[in-house]
Structure 1
Amino acid sequence: MTPHGLPHPPQVLHHRPADLGDRVAFGFVKALRLVADLFFRKRYGHRAVVLETVAAVPGMVGGLLQHLKALRHIRDDQGWIRELLDEAENERMHLMTFIKVARPSVFERLIILLTQAAFYNVYFFLYLFAPKTAHRVVGYFEEEAVRSYTDFLAEIDAGRLADAPAPRIAIDYWRLAPDATLRDVVVAVRDDEAGHRDRNHAFADALKKDADAPFAAAVK
């Protein structure tokens, strides 16, 4: 069980698009991936700073809208709100960690501001009108995050990136060993992203089965 009493979803390495919403979500994420690859290439620390800024948005948006939905329906949320807010907090800690690693430039901070402003508004309205597709977007986004952090590990293992000491914020947050390195941090972050991937695909599947999820159990 998850910390909020929800069952752990099965591991989903890749969800094959099954309908129009899935295909839209998959295409949108692949387009973002192409832009990130062209802009950052193998600058994985800087890529993480910008992308984690985006990754911290969906959980907060989803938690907010599920909270409002629970109030309107006067029903229990079945644990979705806390799960989504915890996801947002976890992604924010990823950002705080990689800021210590990459130390973004003024230009990259400007990109962060513009990217977050655009993505927040797009995602808010997507979740408002098509929550299943919104969760599928995050599921695919996290699939790409797992892939990126795997590539990051490969660069460290090959010696092309220095395996520097882990930032103190990462050691404290993930309770790593005092002598933990960047590699340990990347492994921990990748594990987090895999969990978010599986959870969001499970949320999307639940919404596909019942448009009133997460309140279906309360109704029954």
Structure 2
Amino acid sequence: MDPSRILAVRTAHRKAYTWQDRAALGTVRLLRWGMDFVSGYNSRPADTNTPSKAYIMTEEKWITRFIFLESVAGVPGMVAGMLRHLKSIRRMRRDNGWIETLLEEAYNERMHLLAFLKLAEPGLAMRFMVLGAQWVFFSGFSLAYLISPQICHRFVGYLEEEAVITYSKAIRDLEDGHLPAWEGLQAPKMAIKYWQMPEGQRCMHSLLLYVRADEAKHRDVNHTLGNLDQNMDPNPFAAKVRAQVQSVTGSTGGLRQLRENSRKET
């Protein structure tokens, strides 16, 4: 991954235009409140660097939050990919490249979780919370995706917006010297191998930058998928579709032409 792109990641928010958008955003904000409560999250005010008793985010609490966040974030891509896979088989039609991207997202989120698990061992209480959250979220998201995939992708887009904010605040805390135990900490070997971190950029700070960049990508991908026709539009992020997009760049058809091609093929 290009280092300049990793450093260029910024928080962003897509305005909720429709009732579907507002429903997705409202659900994310409700879940954010619950996640803050479970992980003991208490953000330092952005306008001050003065330590206070109200600020309680230590390295341990950040890791707890990351683990809980990633254990939930790994669910949507797998659920969506699974349901689209079954739908493709049931209808005996091609999926237009969606499954590939969705499963890649789930795999990537799981790698985030495994990287953080190398830095901390969750207690029994945390494991039970993750188990309960996964069961509830898997069941609820599966039902929701059957009803409205578009709302679900918008929901994931807003969820990833919050993830980018969380990692940005952790990075700022580390850069401001509020997390001294992480200043000289090396990233786990599996993380170095997975992200192919170059020499000199294999510390905890770099790990957080790589993870944040992944979350920003998931944010943009899901907001884009939420804008598409869930049944007919090809996935513009799939490798094969990207090649097709490049081949028709000079034409006026664009995504519309790809959609027509997909209809003819099915």
Deviations 1:55-111 (A, max 9, x none): 001001110111122223322212110100000000000000111123211111111
Q: Secondary structure at the match of 1:31?
A: helix
Structure 1 segment 174-185 matched on structure 2, within 5 A? 174-178=195-199, 180-185=202-207
CA contact (8 A) 2:232 2:263 kept: no
Q: Name the residue aligned to 1:151.
A: 169
Number of equivalent positions: 207
Confirm whether residue 22 of structure 1 aligns to residue 21 of structure 2: yes
Superposition deviation, residue 44 in structure 1: 1.7
TM-score by length of 2: 0.74
Q: 2:187 is aligned with what amino acid?
A: A
Structure having the higher helix fraction is 1
Q: 2:153 is aligned with what amino acid?
A: H
- In structure 1, C-alpha distance between the alignment counterparts of 2:230 and 2:99, rounded to whole Å: 17
Structure 2 counterpart of 1:89, from 96, 100, 107: 107
Q: Name the residue aligned to 1:204.
A: 226
Q: Name the residue aligned to 1:169.
A: 190
Q: Name the residue aligned to 2:178.
A: 160
Q: Name the residue aligned to 2:30.
A: 31
- In structure 1, C-alpha distance between the alignment counterparts of 2:99 and 2:11, rounded to whole Å: 22
Q: 1:129 is aligned with what amino acid?
A: I
Bigger relative contact order, structure 1 or 2, given CA contacts below 8 A and separation 6+?
A: 1
Confirm whether residue 99 of structure 1 aligns to residue 117 of structure 2: yes
Shift in CA distance, 83/154, structure 1 to aligned 2, threshold 3 Å: same
Identity among equivalent pairs (%): 40
Shift in CA distance, 184/59, structure 1 to aligned 2, threshold 3 Å: same
- In structure 1, C-alpha distance between the alignment counterparts of 2:81 and 2:148, rounded to whole Å: 15
Deviations 1:142-180 (A, max 9, x none): 000000000010111111112311111111110113551
Asked which structure has the greater CA Rg, the reply is 2
Q: Secondary structure at the match of 2:96?
A: coil
Q: Name the residue aligned to 1:122.
A: 140
Confirm whether residue 187 of structure 1 aligns to residue 209 of structure 2: yes
CA contact (8 A) 1:77 1:214 kept: no
Q: 1:174 is aligned with what amino acid?
A: W
Q: Secondary structure at the match of 2:76?
A: helix
- In structure 2, C-alpha distance between the alignment counterparts of 1:12 and 1:82, rounded to whole Å: 26
- In structure 2, C-alpha distance between the alignment counterparts of 1:55 and 1:196, rounded to whole Å: 10
CA contact (8 A) 1:135 1:203 kept: yes
Q: Name the residue aligned to 2:244.
A: none
Confirm whether residue 139 of structure 1 aligns to residue 157 of structure 2: yes
Q: 1:181 is aligned with what amino acid?
A: C
TM-score by length of 1: 0.88
- In structure 1, C-alpha distance between the alignment counterparts of 2:199 and 2:64, rounded to whole Å: 24
CA contact (8 A) 2:71 2:113 kept: yes
Q: 1:202 is aligned with what amino acid?
A: T
Structure 1 segment 42-61 matched on structure 2, within 5 A? 42=57, 43-61=61-79
Q: 2:168 is aligned with what amino acid?
A: T
